[in-house]
Amino acid sequence: MPAEMFPTLLAVSTAAPGAPIAQTDIWDEFYAAVFAGVPNARRLFVEANTVERRHLNWDPRTAFRDGFPPVGPRVEAWEQCALDLGRRTLPAVLAGRDRSKVGTFVMVSSTGYVCPGPDSQLVAELGLRPDVRRVFVGHMGCYAALVGLRAALDALAARPDELVLLTCVEVTSAHLRGEATREQAVVHGLFGDACASVLLGAVPGHTGPEAGPTPAPIAAAVPAGPITPGGPVDGPDSGAVAVAIGARVLATRTEVVPDTAEHMSIRIHEEGFRLRLSPAIPSLIRAGTPGFVDRLLAGTGLSPGDIRHWVLHPGGPRIIDAVGDAFGLTDAQLRPSRETLRDYGNCSSVTVLLALRRLMSGEAGEPPSAGDNAILIAFGPGLTTEAALVRF
């Protein structure tokens, strides 16, 4: 076995609360009355965002029938849903693994706060070691899954004989509001609830010339067994199934565009969290992403044309279009992101992992082959771009 070991995404599992609710039903049975005085609100809510269905822990037709609650009950709902979804996705990615090897657990969310957090209770319920290192990444928005990934990579670099868990969970429905503006019609028609868990470990890398550039090796590995990308990983009866990934992480990058903070933000108000979304965001992403990707790929010997798979955070159809136009991507390359937006909406930090699972499972076409390069990329408040370069 070669001495070089590399940080690798091993498996991913996703879950969402309840049955999907049709976008037209949410509008007709609740929000049509809320946005009755807003011009073109139905087009913004139902048609322009290309979302056809979403999973909502709090169905507005029942949760807000008697008015919009204050922050306290909303955060309580976030906590319970985060626990419920974590109980489904985490056992699936841990199936067949020695749980005593899990040394770090990274949890990501921007839609709730409590201390101790759901990560603490999940560690106990999963039977993980009492000395497992917990990291909570909070309130960074849609790119935060890749911040969690960077924290996981740091843990593997320091302790390559361990496994790392990464869980992203967002319950955006807990913060739906009664504010009747065009901006909030877009927001309320776009966001959904979901959870995704990823298992990472160190596995042998390939160092021959045919393998292309490799990341800096880490010293030892958890015995991971063979990885068949896209293959199922048998899990317990938790309501979720993990899909194998088998992707080495070659590089990561993050950048904040100066003087753009006002375009996207999350603020806490008495009646809940309020999300600000500027219509200028797609144009900013279209202008800035090519240079960002060039800097991500610098030193790897790769160009954008060498990237076969683009796992884009589907923040909205115009964001997908902006990145697709910037790199001349095909419909097939954009399909995992478009279908994720269609079926789940924008689930903040979880969404890029939903698109990754769709790519790996073959639901959106042919899954990756050995040697394929991919970029996972997401955008969020700041305006921040975060990405990871991986190779299958």
Closest CA to 27 of 57, 52, 2, 1: 52
Which H or E element spans position 351? helix 351-361
Angle (CA) 374 361 390, round 5°: 20
Which H or E element spans position 145? helix 144-158
Q: Across-strand partners of 26?
A: none
**Catalytic-labelled residue, pool 81, 142, 195, 347:** 142
Q: Across-strand partners of 105?
A: 134, 165
Closest CA to 354 of 8, 77, 16, 47: 16
In the structure encoding, which two tokens stand for residue 65, read together? 């029938």
The position carrying tokens 């590995």 is: 221
| 3-class DSSP string for 208-226 | CHHHCCCCCCECCCCCCCC
Sign of the Cα torsion 276, 378, 252, 293 reads negative
In the structure encoding, which two tokens stand for residue 257, read together? 């565009």
The verdict on whether 81 is a catalytic residue reads no
Other C-beta atoms closer than 10 Å to the C-beta of 356 total 27
Sign of the Cα torsion 180, 182, 183, 187 reads positive
**Whole-angstrom distance, CA of residue 289 vs CA of residue 253:** 12
DSSP summary character for residue 336:
H
Which H or E element spans position 373? strand 373-380
Output phi, psi for 12, to 5 deg: -135, 145
Residues marked active site are found at 142
